[in-house]
Amino acid sequence: MAIVAVLGAALAASMLARRTPHGATRHLRVVSLSPNTTEILFAIGAGGDVVGVTASCDYPPEARSVTRIGGYGCPNAEKILALRPDVVVGAGEGMGALPAVRLLVQRGIPVRLFEHESFGAILELTRRLGEATGRQENARRLVASLSARLAALDERTRNVPEAKRPRVYVEVWNDPIMSIGSHSFITELVRRAGGASVTADLPGDYPRVAPELVVERDPQVILTGYMNDPAQAAAVARRIGWGRVAAARDGRIITDIDPDLLLRPGPRLVDGAEQLFRRLYPEGAP
Amino acid sequence: MSTKRRKRTHTIVALGLVLVAVAACAVFVGTVWVPPGELLARGLGGTLGIRLARVALGIVVGAALSVAGVIFQAVLRNPLAEPYVLGVSSGAGLGAAVAILTGWSVVSIWVLPAGAFAGALLTMLLVERLARIGGRLPVHALLLAGVVVGAICGSLLMFLVSTASMESSRRLHDIVWWLLGNLQISDLSLLAATAGVVAAGVALASVLSRDLNLMVLGEEPAAHLGLGVERTKIVFFVLGSMLAGVSVAACGLIGFVGLIVPHTMRMILGPDHRTLLPASALAGAVFLVAADTVARTVLAGSGTELPVGVVTALLGGPFFIALLRKRRAVAWM
């Protein structure tokens, strides 16, 4: 079964890497519709094939010089068509319903859309992008190294009892206050880092939450994902009614982890989980 | 005369008591159920503080919008006038959108309200300038200038929103959220500043409420009765716009309050602005606090709340229709 899949993928890749009339293979032309697929494409050595990215695709730095095809969640079909892509890739909920994406499909452009709301889905996404670009081996190596690091982290946090896990409140946006719900990969990230999200029971991925709900659940650590700015921590602690929250009292409001390591479902999410683990357990393993 | 005054005092006191009762109830319910004893025991530093601040903002903004509505309905002599009739909302919306789209609004909690207030202020000055004809400020010119400037600001806002969608859906979401209007407040000094301006405005309007009684007679009769009509118009134009402007700056667009509350109070209490104005301030506060309590609790199951702007029309509309049907002949002034 696996062999069939690999053969199929290899066949697809060889078909995609079309030959020019002179017989030399020319580069695949890939357009990426989301920052995380862009990041993964570069991480598996397919960066040279990427001919179009969104305005939000800012990592790695080389991605910034690639032609922009609109924003994340609002791609421009004309710009994409003008780039004559062999394949268009993207990840995120609802992307298939975007008018621009529908138009591409109608025009017969191969569009590959993926889920990314869990670590498993992100590893799978990496593998599939490897297949789509003929970089299976690179993708396999990246997945193996990420999986090994995740396994090492799990080893240290898996057995932490519920009561000993720091209660973590992740704020992905401040006005209105938005947090992470049961469907978000960030809830999984917090768990893998040895914490427990105080909003893990809320429905959806990024629910708006009432401020009093956060205060009542008394998080021990607050993580802001919209800005790395120390002033932000002070602003959160100064909010009306937030002064007695454990995290504010103990000064455990983390604003200095790069938001992209926490919010962008790509390979650096593992760095985010590792960094958060070190911040949750400054004295080492629990 | 003295019985009239006593009746007025009774009305104000009764409304004041209703406000206290509604506010007290509002403090004890919310998205999360906390037993009242526990809530009080833990003091102002927690959920109690959050709810008190929110109820306070509801009182302040409800009063401001209602008084602004009373003022504009009287001065413009138009039953459809409401706090945003002269374009203040569109101007403020434009200011807020600029603050959000430039990314400055995340720098400080004051940037968004300041942007919205600056927008409201600029719109107000522009409307005044456009409506001024030969040293006078005709009511129809004010209304037209307000509508036109409002429409222009509205299309500029649309323009910003439509171009923004290419870059940042999150900022777009912020603008929409702001436009829906909500009473979430996290900063005590912002609350204090809003309350200060509104208290001063409502107090001044109450002192001058007799002039509104003359204004509704028409400008000529008012002038014959010794009122400086042009000066009065300017004073109330600035007063109404300031009240609307600070409300919008603090919590976005909250519709319906400023239109419905003055009419309702006029139906119940009659057209004397010496009663109508303070009564509308109190009733507006009651209405907005009640609407916000619904907004805070209706989605409690999912840990979230509605923007109060969504609730005001849904709650106020049917109530107003019922009132209209009960009293078919309505003297709106």
Interface mutation target, options A240, A245, A249, A263, chain B, most CBs of B under 10 Å:
A240
Q: By percentage, how much of chain A surpasses pLDDT 70?
A: 89
What's the ipTM?
Answer: 0.82
- A175·B174 Cβ contact <8 A: yes
Per CATH, domain A8-14+25-145 is 3.40.50.740 = no
**Window from B129-138, B149-158, B197-206, B235-244 with minimum mean pLDDT:** B129-138
Interface mutation target, options B29, B34, B50, chain A, most CBs of A under 10 Å:
B50
**DSSP label at A20?**
P
Chain B nearest CA to A192, separation (Å) = 24
- A244·B46 Cβ contact <8 A: yes
Question: Which range, A12-26, A183-197, B36-50, B258-272, is most confident?
Answer: A183-197
> Mind listing the pLDDT tens digit for each residue in A219-264?
999 998 876 667 777 888 889 999 889 999 999 999 889 989 999 9
Q: Which CATH superfamily is domain B2-326 in?
A: ABC transporter involved in vitamin B12 uptake, BtuC (1.10.3470.10)
* Residue B276 CA: distances (Å) to CA of A285, B8, B18, B206, B332: 68, 9, 16, 9, 12
Domain with CATH 3.40.50.1980 in chain A: 8-14+25-145, 160-280
Mean pLDDT calculated for residue range B248-259: 90
Domain boundaries, chain B: 2-326
Greater confidence, B151 or A15?
B151
Give the whole-angstrom CA distance, residue B15 versus residue B280.
9
Whether the CB of B302 is below 8 Å from some CB of chain A: the reply is yes
**Window from A8-12, B112-116, B203-207 with minimum mean pLDDT:** A8-12
Q: How confident is the model at residue A6 (pLDDT cuts 50, 70, 90)?
A: very low
Other C-beta atoms closer than 10 Å to the C-beta of B43 total: 10
Whether the CB of B171 is below 8 Å from some CB of chain A: the reply is no
- A215·B47 Cβ contact <8 A: yes
| Mean per-residue pLDDT of chain A | 88
Question: Which range, A1-15, B274-288, B289-303, is most confident?
Answer: B274-288
Query: Where are any strands of DSSP class E within A9-163?
Result: 30-32, 50-52, 70-71, 74-75, 87-91, 111-114
pLDDT at B125 over 70: yes
> Mind listing the pLDDT tens digit for each residue in A56-105?
899 999 999 999 998 888 899 999 999 999 999 999 888 888 999 999 99
**Window from A120-124, B141-145, B200-204 with minimum mean pLDDT:** B141-145
Give the whole-angstrom CA distance, residue A235 versus residue A226.
13
Using omega within 30 degrees of 0 as the cis cutoff, is the peptide bond preceding A60 cis? yes
> Mind listing the pLDDT tens digit for each residue in B10-26?
989 999 999 999 999 99
- A244·B165 Cβ contact <8 A: no
Our CA dihedral for B316, B320, B322, B324, rounded to 10 degrees, sits at -170
Chain A nearest CA to B241, separation (Å) = 26
Per CATH, domain A160-280 is 3.30.1380.10 = no
**Residue B197 forms beta bridges with which residues?**
none
| Chain A residue closest in CA terms to B300 | A210
Chain A nearest CA to B166, separation (Å) = 5
Sign of the CA dihedral running B60, B61, B66, B72: positive
Q: Is B103 left (phi over 0), alpha (psi -120 to 50) or beta?
A: left
Q: By percentage, how much of chain A surpasses pLDDT 90?
A: 71
pLDDT at A170 over 70: yes
* pLDDT score recorded for residue B109: 80
Using omega within 30 degrees of 0 as the cis cutoff, is the peptide bond preceding B35 cis? no
Q: How confident is the model at residue B44 (pLDDT cuts 50, 70, 90)?
A: confident
